[in-house]
Chains A and B, each alone.
Chain A
Amino acid sequence: MPAVEISQLVKTYPVGKNKLTALDKISFDVNEGEIFGLIGPDGAGKTSLFRILTTLLIPDSGSAQVLGLDVVRDFREIRKKVGYMPGKFSLYQDLTVEENLNFFATVFGTTIKENKYLIEEIYVQIEPFKDRRAGKLSGGMKQKLALCCALIHKPSILFLDEPTTGVDTVSRKEFWEMLGRLKKQGITIMVSTPYMDEATLCERIALIQDAKIMSVDTPAQIIQQFPDPLFAIRGDQMGKLLKQLRQNPEVETCNAFGDYHHITLKDNSAGTQTRLIGQLEKENLHIKELKAITPTIEDCFIRLMPHNNQIQRS
């Protein structure tokens, strides 16, 4: 039995006389014990989905089961078994670290002591501040406390809505290492993130954009399905090179990727690359490197985005 089964799920919100579609017939499963990533930008529908799965929001149509229980009918049962860390910090700001933890343990009919082993490793990092009010903690500490509170009743599945947003790369790495260790305890983890580079840390991912799922698979499979050969190009004037590449007739797509630009070509026969370099050199651009590369998840995401071509700047 999958830990989460979602079928044709729809959620809309009224906006004046119109309707805003947050989730448009979404279907996928999350397997038991896996780290499943929901990857997409703000406004894609990630939070609406989390709120439905944690029984805080009722879908318009379609169905969803969590641990075999229906999110509408069996909401009481589900609430006992899931841990949820919302994107917005939702603990009691005027309770101390220890009081918050105690509160959540009590609500779920357990004690800190009983499940301490589960949170031990995270809790030691915030324990020195256990008498500090939650509102006075730093961002990183709040995040750790929220995770402890979501874990204290030993949930079978953990829903983490953008736990690493606004967190620097070092803390992000630590957070993902923590998730890896929780997985070893047998907890299923569904986590959302706007950072594409975190996709490869999940076993399977769903790419979500504009209320629709664009792809569900392992990161490796999604990368393998990238349809065209992809190249990275680097020159001495990257800004000018980007503009020239966008205008060049040989180039199909072109996106800046840090110190390289990633391009696909209209014609992948031999000679195109040499021709392209020749044309660019004519524009007084010195090309330092042009090489075939494996796409990243971000390349795949951009490729899968609808209207991807229309919003190229004139």
Chain B
Amino acid sequence: MDPMVIFDAGLALALVALSWAVLASADRFASVVLFIVLGLMVALAWVRLGAPDVALAEAAIGAGVTGALLLATLRHLRGQPEAPPSPAPVRWAVGGMVAAVTAALAAVVVALVAAPRPEGLAGAVADNLAMSGVEHPVTAVLLNFRAHDTLMEVVVLLVAVVVVWAIDRGLAPAHAPQGPLVDLGPVQDGFARLALPAAVLLGAYLLWAGAHAPGGAFQGGAVLAAVGILAILAGRWRPEPRHRAWARAAFGLGATVFVLVALGVGLGPRVAYEYPLTLAKPLILTIEAAVTLSIAATLAALFFGREPAGLTVPNTVPNTVPSTARGGRP
């Protein structure tokens, strides 16, 4: 027997147990931490399934950025009572639905094991990889063969941040701009000075590597978003009203470049996304670079959670952090 089967079985059990623990945990904070751990385990599962691209995205976005968003949400909920448990009929109904879905999935898995494996699209992708402009099949699918789907994903992110900013206009007085509540100290400062530039490099590397290896715009963008989140948390950067125009430009950049390239290609004798072979790689990398910036700006803005000094709140605390606490930076 393959010894990895034992590992896989343990991983599968851990996923189920962690999912249960996330839902059953009475404490919000514990629940969020368990969710982050669950995300990392899911990333490991994707590695075991031979999908390193998905694993990178899951670790960076599913565990990292989503975890940060949930922790930021917790901070807004601080001091509010835990919601009472749902009434019993609701819980039973939800439990019944979950059981039905699980049973259906199990039936599908069993049927799939017995059925002859249908020929997927992997062969078609491999046959046409040379025409895609990149050497990594996942990037070829995302940015060339199925580029329209990817454009829609980029648009979804854009819509999300637009909605968050719009909602926040009504809610803004509820939570004032947050900076670091306390001085995080010199160790944190030194770490940020060291880690943030390195993480920027890593994000750019992931973007570049996506052309021939696992990586790409979403993974690189998530790492760059983490840089933004760390910079906000560490008080090294505070979004201000005058940044709003830049932020809007960054949010829209990815979708705009994507659409312009598609239109530009489509205006000729070709259809949209049918990049000319010689230009395919530069065009794909251009789109990916723009999308990376948009994803980074969008995710960081979602973490900040509000328009910088929204319309209903005057610019209350522009510079409350003593500059001396941050190594004398102005």
Whether both chains belong to one complex is answered with no
